[in-house]
Amino acid sequence: MDRRREIEVMSGDKRIPIDGGPNFGQTPFAELKSDGLPPGPNESPGGSADRPAAGSPLPRKNRGRVDIKRQTAGRGGKTVTVVTGFVGIGLPEKEKLAKQIQKACGTGGTVKDGGIEIQGDKRAEVARILTEAGFRSVFAGG
């Protein structure tokens, strides 16, 4: 076959349909039934997916471990609660979390060097708020 004939066959009138073509009439899974099988992990026995009720809150995922420390060194004798160890959380979310902690503790604070600093020894209150936010808080240091 010469080169011209090959091109003619390739560009001839035999076109491949792009709309799916003819239906072959048989599907390998057409005869399968799910009767008698146990429900899958996302199905209830009634056949619908398990969804929490509209009023119930979704369970919080574990967002990682954060360390809560009490520091006085280099602060003129003032005590500061420092939260460090945030992973996968951006600056805007840290600032929002810091505002929430400040409001709950009734003190001032800031976001500095990747951590949250709260004025005073407020470790218990900070731990409660961080646990509600899905973090696993650990008291570190003294």
Helix (H, G, I), strand (E, B) or coil at 75: coil
CA distance 29 to 32: 5
Its domain, for residue 90, covers 65-139
Gyration radius from the chain CA atoms? 31
Q: Residue 63 has what pLDDT?
A: 84
**pLDDT value, residue 56:** 47
For residue 27, tell me if it sits in a domain: no
pLDDT value, residue 14: 67
Evaluate whether residue 8 is within a structural domain.
no
CB proximity list for 139: less than 8 A, separation 6 or greater: 67, 68, 69, 123, 127
In a domain, 41, yes or no: no
Half-sphere exposure of 44 (CA within 13 A, CB side): 6
Residue 50 lies in a domain: no
Tell me the CA distances in angstroms from 125 to 7, 18, 130, one per residue in order: 78, 63, 9
CA distance 126 to 68: 8
Measured in whole angstroms, the distance separating CA 43 from the mean position of its chain's CA atoms is 22
Question: Is 32 contained in some domain?
Answer: no
Q: What is the block-wise mean pLDDT of the chain (142 residues), using blocks of 10 residues?
A: 52 63 68 80 56 52 89 90 91 94 94 94 94 92 71
CATH number at 118 reads: 3.30.780.10
In a domain? residue 130? yes
Q: Tell me if 54 is assigned to some domain.
A: no
Number of domains present in the structure of the chain: 1
